[in-house]
Amino acid sequence: DPPSLRSSRSCPRSRTTAEWEYFGGKCYYFSLTRMSWHKAKAQCEEMRSQLAVIDSYAKQVKTQLQTGILNERFWIGLTDQHSEGDWEWVDGTDYKTTFTFWKEGEPNNSGSNEDCAHLWVSGKWNDVYCTYECYYICEKPVPK
């Protein structure tokens, strides 16, 4: 198979029925359970990974295809909880110089309480309160 279509062969198997999927040199995990952003972040870290950092159009398309099939919302590793309007990726990737894909009118900090980002069913990004429970996407490099 071409590398971009390779299955989870090069990614770890999971204890649950969900599998890690290979894309662009990384392994992605689409959760089967909903939880708050902070719990999702901790869950990814427990699996030696991080909430997904969508820093390219290719990654956006990959995650959008998967979340669209599942027809659900998914947390990504983006927050402005430290300083309103200053969005930060969990791995320190520079938000200001990388790709973004916000839904029209977002982020809007509705109710002055929306500090965490998730993918809408459409794949566009939206800010929502961090205690909202939704699915999540973890990513990690392919094991050597």
Using alpha carbons, select from 75, 73, 71, 57 the residue that is nearest to residue 139.
75
Query: What are the DSSP E strand ranges found in the chain?
Result: 21-23, 26-30, 50-51, 74-79, 88-89, 116-119, 125-128, 135-141
% of the chain exceeding 70 in pLDDT: 90
- For the segment 58-103, what is each residue's pLDDT rounded down to a tens digit? 999 999 988 888 889 999 999 999 999 999 999 999 999 999 999 9
- For the segment 96-142, what is each residue's pLDDT rounded down to a tens digit? 999 999 999 999 999 899 999 999 988 999 999 999 999 999 999 98
Band of residue 14 on the pLDDT scale cut at 50, 70, 90: low
- Break the chain into its structural domains and give their ranges: 3-141
Query: 1 pLDDT exceeds 90?
Result: no
Fold of the domain spanning 3-141: Mannose-Binding Protein A; Chain A (3.10.100)
Cα(94)–Cα(90) distance, rounded to whole angstroms? 10
Using alpha carbons, select from 40, 25, 43 the residue that is nearest to residue 140.
25
- Residue 78's φ and ψ, nearest 5 degrees, are -130, 130
